[in-house]
Structures are given as structure tokens and as C-alpha cells.
Amino acid sequence: MTKKTVVVLGASGLIGNLLTLELLKDGSVEKVRVVVRKPIQLQHEKLEVAICNFNSLENLTACIGQGDALFCCIGTTQKQVNGNKEAYRKIDFDIPVQAANIAKQREFSSYLLVSAIGANTQASGFYLRLKGEVEQAIEQLNFPSFHIFRPSFLLGERKEFRMGEIIAKYIFKAISFFLVGSLQKYKAIEAVDVAKAMVAASKLATNRTKIYTYIDMVSLSNKG
């Protein structure tokens, strides 16, 4: 089996960090290239760190380089961009889509995207509409395999303190029992399970687009 070179965008975030650790442990992966804004502390013989100016398409292209699978976990919050929707879109739409165009030109075989439950180009809310637009733009590039992960609330230890998320965590855990059937997709999910599911999905012989929600991700994570 030929070992793969994979690229991770958003490696400093909650899912991206866990995903990077999972990929480094994976025997089918030869090199993990993380494209980040600033140096990270993680060190590993299979790890390659590419410091990138995401405002430069030329630099982003050079940092992504050649590879087989691109994992995109890029994302920001309204707080981080001070409520500026243009800045929000630049991070959550422009970077993933630009990276997808680069990966398509470089003949990557698969693109794996962290999106959100409820993503829809027709959604009334800015966030879910934007996520839907990202999915649509990348799908139109016709990758051999395009995997979309739509988690609801994420559970896990973040580097930064978010009081709102701490409160929401307990709320989601309390109502989880009642989310059954078609409502299961709204259950909170451990970020590590999303990461493991992404690694497992990257090994599937899936043609074109596949969408994963809560039950799919939990099932895949258990196969890792």
C-alpha cells in the first residue's frame, strides 16, 4: 500500500489539533503537512509545518504543496472577528474554497471538510448559510471524494476559555437523551470522535460527495 501525504488546515483548532494527532499515529500516512499562521509546539518525524500568509494565494499554494488528501478544519467565531461578517467570510469561505481549488489543481484525490449541522445555502442565518455556500462551492469542483462532516455542538477542551460554551455543554448533555430518531443529528459530539471519523472516512472508496452527521461520525470513529 502506498503511504499518503495529507494536508491539514486549521491544525491549531479543537478538531484540527486532534485530527493531526490521529493522522500522525496512522500507519497509512507518510507525511502530515499542517498549514498554519504561526509555529506550533508539536513535533513528530512525520510532521511538516508550513507557516502561511493566508492572505496570499501564492503563499497558500506553496504551503499546501502536493498531497493526496486535504483536511479542512478552518473556522472562526463572531467574537474573534468582532462581529465583522466580511472578515468572517474571508476565513470561513475564502480559505476553504481557495484551498480546494489549489488541491483540485494539484490532483488531490479527496477533500474532507468540517462544516456544521444545518448548513444550507438557503438558511436564514448568516453562519449556516455561509457553511452551505462553502459546501456547494467545493462540491462543484468534483473531487473524486468529497467528505462533509456536520457536527452539532462540539465537546472537548479548548485552548481558550468560552463561558457560553461551558454552559451550552451542560445543556446539550442534559437534552441528549431526548434527541432520538431524526433528532440524533443534533446531539453534541466529542471533537475527538469527529477527528477519528475524518481519518476513517479518508480511507473509504467513496465516489463524489458524502455527508456525515452524528450517528455516522460516531460509527466511523469506533472503526478507527
- Whose CA is closest to 62, among 38, 87, 31, 98? 98
Counting residues of the chain whose pLDDT is more than 70, the rounded percentage is 87
The pLDDT of residue 169 is above 60 = no
**Residue 1: band (very low, low, confident or very high) from pLDDT cuts 50, 70, 90:** low
**Residue 164: band (very low, low, confident or very high) from pLDDT cuts 50, 70, 90:** low
Q: Which residue has the cell 430518531?
A: 181
Assign domain 4-153+190-221 to a CATH class.
Answer: alpha beta
CB 188 within 8 A of CB 217: no
Domain ranges of the chain: 4-153+190-221
The pLDDT of residue 120 is above 80 = yes
Note the helical H segments in the chain. Answer: 14-25, 57-64, 85-89, 95-105, 126-139, 163-175, 191-201, 214-221
